[in-house]
Chain A
Amino acid sequence: MQAIRANETGLRVDEKLERLKLYGLSSPALLLILVILVIPVGWLFYVSFIGGDGQFSLENYQRMIKRSSYMRIFRTTFEVSVVTTALCIVIGYPLAYFLSQLPARLANLCMITVLLPFWTSLLVRTYAWLVLLQKKGLVNDWAIALGLWDEPIKMVHNMTGTLIGMVHIMLPFLILPVYGSMKAIDRDYMKAASNLGASPKRAFWDVFFPLTLPGLFAGTLMVFILCLGFFVTPAVLGGGKVIMVSMKIVSNIELFVSWGAASALGVVLLAMTFAILWVASRFLKLDQIAGGGH
C-alpha cells in the first residue's frame, strides 16, 4: 500500500503549482481589465444615478424617456447601425466569396487591399471621404465630367456621407469572419452536391451558404455592435445632422458638463450591447463568434 501511494502528496502539489502558474500568466491582463474596465464601468453606473443636485435620482433615465430628442437619437443610432450592417452584408459577402475562390496568392494580395484601410487611421480615412465626397470633391467633379450627373450632389454632412464612411470602415469586420468560414469549407462539399444533382445555384444555397452562416452571423454582430457606439465617422461626415448616441454623450459632457446624463446614455448603450450578445448567444456559441468559423 505504502509503495503504491508513493509521491501522492508531491504530485498533487505539483499539479496545483502548475495551475497557479497558469493563472499567474494571465494576471497582468486580468488586472488591466479590472482597472480600465470593471472599475470605470462600475463608476459610470454609479454616476448615472446621481442627479443634478448630487443626490441619488433616476432623472438621467427619466429624461431619456420623456424627451423626444433622446428617442430620436436612439432611433437614428439604430437605423444607421442596421443600414450600415445590411450594406456591409450585401457588399461584403459576395466580395468574401470572390476572395475565397481565388488562388491563394491572388487572394492574399486582394486581402491586403481589403485590410489596408483597416490599418490606416480611422480619422484619416474619415477625412479622406470628406475630401472625396464634398461638393467640389473628386467624386462630384469626375461624375459631372463624365456626365453622370449635372449638379454637384450633396454627399457629406448628411446621412449618405455617414453611411458611405461607416460601411467602408466596417467592411473588413464583416469580410474577415465570413472569409474565414468560407475558406474552412471543404471544396469536396460543393463537388459532392453537384455530383448528387445540384445545380451550382442549388449547391450554393443548400450547402455553401448554410455553412458560412456562423461566420456571417459573427461578422454581422460585430459590425452592428461597433456601429452602435460609433463616433468619429458620423460626427465628421454627418455634419451634425446625423446624431448618434455617442455624439450625444460627448455633447452632454462638453456642452452641458452633465456627467450623469452622459453616463446614463453610456449605460443604456452598454445594456443594449449586452442584450444583443445575449440574444445572439442563444443562437450560437459566443466562442464561435470570436473564432469566426466553425
Chain B
Amino acid sequence: MRSHDSDALPISIKGVTKTYGPVHALDDVSLEVNSGEFITLLGPSGSGKTTLLMVIAGFTRPDCGSLKFGDREVIRTPPHLRDLGMTFQSYALFPHMTVAGNVAYPLKLRKLPKAEIAERVERALDTVQLGGYGDRGIDQLSGGQKQRVALARSIVFEPRILLMDEPLSALDKKLRDQMQIELRHLHEKLGMTTVYVTHDQREALTMSDRIAVVNKGRIMQLATPRELYERPANRFVADFIGDSTFLPVEKTGVGISYNGMALTFSEAPPDTEKLILMIRPERIVLSPEGPREGVNNFSATAVEVVYQGDSFLLHARLDDGTQIALRGGVRGASLSALPNVGDTVTLTLAPEDTVLIDGSEV
C-alpha cells in the first residue's frame, strides 16, 4: 500500500445546498478538507452529515454547489467514476461473493491482471488482520470481521479519498474502541484523505484531525477535537460535545458577572450579544475548605451524590436554582470527604476553565 507521503487529494466543498421540499438537508455548506486529513462530520441524526457524505460519494445530487477533488470538479461526475473508497453503515458486502471475491471486485472492474489482483487482495486482507479469510462466505463472519472486510474492499484499489459512514455503529463497545484505534493507525499508514461520519462524539474526538459539527444542514463549527471541546463556538456545539452546565451571565460595564458575582476568566469571550458560561462537570471542583482566592466560587446545595467507581458525580443546586453537575476523582481521602445530600458546598472554577461562549440560539 501507499506510504504517508502519498498523493492523497484535498476535498473542496463550496456552497452545497440540498433541499427536500421545504427542508434544507444541506444549507449552503462549504468545507475544505486538507490532503491526507482525517475529518469527521459529527451531528445528531437528521443533521445532514450523511447527506453531505452522500453528496461527496455522488449518491445524492445537490441542488447547487461545487465539489472538487484536488483541481477536478466532480459535482456532476457519476459515483462509479469518482474513484473513492467508501464503507457503509450496513457494510454492504455482497452476500453472493466470498471475502476475497468482495475485496477483488473493485480490482476486477479496473481490469487488473489476475496475479496482481490475488496479491493485492491478500495484502489488503493482511492490512485489516484477516489474512487467510479469503475463502470464507460473508455470512460466516462476525460483525467486526465484516467491518474489516468492508474496509479492505474500500482501500484495496488505493483510492485517494476514503469515506466512512458510521462504520462502527453496529459493533459492541469494546470492539468499537479497539477499531477506533486501528482505523486511526490505518489512516496514518495509508495517508488517504478521510471523511468520517458519526453521531458518537467520543469516537469523533478520539479519531479526528478536525471535526465538523453539523446541525440543521449547516456546519456549526470546524475545529480540532481539543478546540471543539475547550472552546465550543456556540451552545449547540457545547451541548452536543461532552456534558455541560450553562449559566446565564450579564455584561457589566467593567466585566462579566454571574448572579451579581464578577467572573474571573483567562480568555477573552467572543464578541457577541448574548454570552453564557459553560461549565464542564470535570472542570469544576469541590472545595471542602470553602471559597478560595483567584478562582470563581459558587455556593450550592448538594442534591444527589452518586458513587460510580472510578469517579463520583455530584448534582448540586446553585443559589439561583440552576442544577449543576460535578464529576470528581475518588482518590484517597476525597471519598470520605464527599458531601451529604442537603449540605451546603463550595464549588470552584479556575479562570482558564471559565469558558464564556456565544449563547444565541442556532
- A residues in contact with B82, CB < 8 Å: 195
How many residues of chain B have a CB within 8 Å of chain A?
A: 27
- B residues in contact with A207, CB < 8 Å: 94, 96
Q: How far is the CA of A200 from the CA of B95 in the complex (A)?
A: 19
The yes or no answer to A6 lying at the interface (CB within 8 A) is no
Q: Is B95 a contact of A196 with CB atoms below 8 Å?
A: no
With beta carbons under 8 angstroms apart, the residue of B88, B90, B95, B106 that contacts A197 is B106
The yes or no answer to A191 lying at the interface (CB within 8 A) is yes
- B residues in contact with A202, CB < 8 Å: 80, 109
Q: Is B84 a contact of A195 with CB atoms below 8 Å?
A: yes
* Given A202-B109, A206-B105, A194-B92 contact (CB < 8 Å): no
Known: A192-B94, A195-B82, A195-B85. 11 other contacts (CB 8 A): A188-B90, A188-B92, A191-B92, A192-B88, A193-B94, A194-B79, A197-B83, A198-B105, A199-B80, A207-B94, A207-B96
Q: How far is the CA of A188 from the CA of B78 in the complex (A)?
A: 16
Q: Is A186 a contact of B90 with CB atoms below 8 Å?
A: yes
The yes or no answer to A41 lying at the interface (CB within 8 A) is no
Q: How far is the CA of A61 from the CA of B107 in the complex (A)?
A: 58
Contact with A along B102-129 (1 / 0, CB 8 A): 0001100110000000000000000000
* Given A194-B79, A196-B153, A189-B92 contact (CB < 8 Å): yes
Q: Is A192 a contact of B92 with CB atoms below 8 Å?
A: yes
- A residues in contact with B99, CB < 8 Å: none
The yes or no answer to A210 lying at the interface (CB within 8 A) is yes
- What are 8 A-B interface contacts by the 8 Å CB criterion? A188-B90, A192-B86, A192-B93, A193-B94, A194-B58, A196-B109, A197-B83, A198-B109
Of residues 160 to 204 in A, which have CB atoms within 8 Å of B's CB atoms?
Answer: 186, 188-189, 191-200, 202-203
Q: Please, which residue of chain B has its CB at the minimum distance from the CB of A188?
A: B92
The yes or no answer to B55 lying at the interface (CB within 8 A) is no
Q: Is B59 a contact of A189 with CB atoms below 8 Å?
A: no
Q: Is A210 a contact of B96 with CB atoms below 8 Å?
A: yes
Q: Is B88 a contact of A188 with CB atoms below 8 Å?
A: yes
Contact with B along A84-99 (1 / 0, CB 8 A): 0000000000000000
Contact with A along B57-78 (1 / 0, CB 8 A): 1110000000000000000001
Task: Tell me how many residue pairs across A and B have CB atoms closer than 8 Å.
Answer: 62
Q: Is B94 a contact of A194 with CB atoms below 8 Å?
A: no
A-side residues, CB < 8 A to B, are: 186, 188-189, 191-200, 202-203, 206-207, 210-211
- B residues in contact with A193, CB < 8 Å: 94, 105
- B residues in contact with A191, CB < 8 Å: 57, 59, 79, 88, 92
Q: How far is the CA of A195 from the CA of B18 in the complex (A)?
A: 21
> Residue among B85, B88, B92, B157 with the most chain A CB within 10 A?
B92
B30 to chain A, nearest CB (A): 24
Q: How far is the CA of A196 from the CA of B81 in the complex (A)?
A: 9
- A residues in contact with B85, CB < 8 Å: 195
Contact with A along B196-240 (1 / 0, CB 8 A): 000000000000000000000000000000000000000000000
Q: How far is the CA of A198 from the CA of B92 in the complex (A)?
A: 14
B149 to chain A, nearest CB (A): 12
Q: Is B110 a contact of A197 with CB atoms below 8 Å?
A: yes
Of residues 24 to 72 in B, which have CB atoms within 8 Å of A's CB atoms?
Answer: 57-59
Q: Please, which residue of chain A has its CB at the minimum distance from the CB of B81?
A: A197
- A residues in contact with B93, CB < 8 Å: 192
Q: How far is the CA of A259 from the CA of B154 in the complex (A)?
A: 67
Q: How far is the CA of A59 from the CA of B109 in the complex (A)?
A: 61
Q: Please, which residue of chain A has its CB at the minimum distance from the CB of B83?
A: A197
Q: Please, which residue of chain B has its CB at the minimum distance from the CB of A199?
A: B80
Q: Is A196 a contact of B106 with CB atoms below 8 Å?
A: yes
Q: Is A186 a contact of B79 with CB atoms below 8 Å?
A: no
Q: How far is the CA of A194 from the CA of B86 in the complex (A)?
A: 10
- B residues in contact with A188, CB < 8 Å: 88-90, 92
Q: How far is the CA of A118 from the CA of B106 in the complex (A)?
A: 43
- A residues in contact with B79, CB < 8 Å: 191, 194-195
- B residues in contact with A189, CB < 8 Å: 92, 94
A213 to chain B, nearest CB (A): 8
Q: Please, which residue of chain A has its CB at the minimum distance from the CB of B165?
A: A188
With beta carbons under 8 angstroms apart, the residue of B84, B92, B157 that contacts A186 is B92
A135 to chain B, nearest CB (A): 50
Q: How far is the CA of A90 from the CA of B331 in the complex (A)?
A: 75
* Given A210-B96, A211-B95, A198-B90 contact (CB < 8 Å): no
Q: How far is the CA of A198 from the CA of B107 in the complex (A)?
A: 10
Q: How far is the CA of A210 from the CA of B83 in the complex (A)?
A: 24
B202 to chain A, nearest CB (A): 25
With beta carbons under 8 angstroms apart, the residue of B59, B90, B96, B157 that contacts A196 is B157
- A residues in contact with B78, CB < 8 Å: 194
Q: Is B157 a contact of A211 with CB atoms below 8 Å?
A: no
Q: Is B106 a contact of A211 with CB atoms below 8 Å?
A: no
- B residues in contact with A199, CB < 8 Å: 80
* Given A210-B96, A211-B96, A195-B86 contact (CB < 8 Å): yes
- B residues in contact with A203, CB < 8 Å: 80
> Residue among A194, A197, A199, A207 with the most chain B CB within 10 A?
A197
Q: How far is the CA of A197 from the CA of B82 in the complex (A)?
A: 8
- A residues in contact with B105, CB < 8 Å: 193, 196, 198, 206
- A residues in contact with B96, CB < 8 Å: 207, 210-211
- B residues in contact with A186, CB < 8 Å: 90, 92
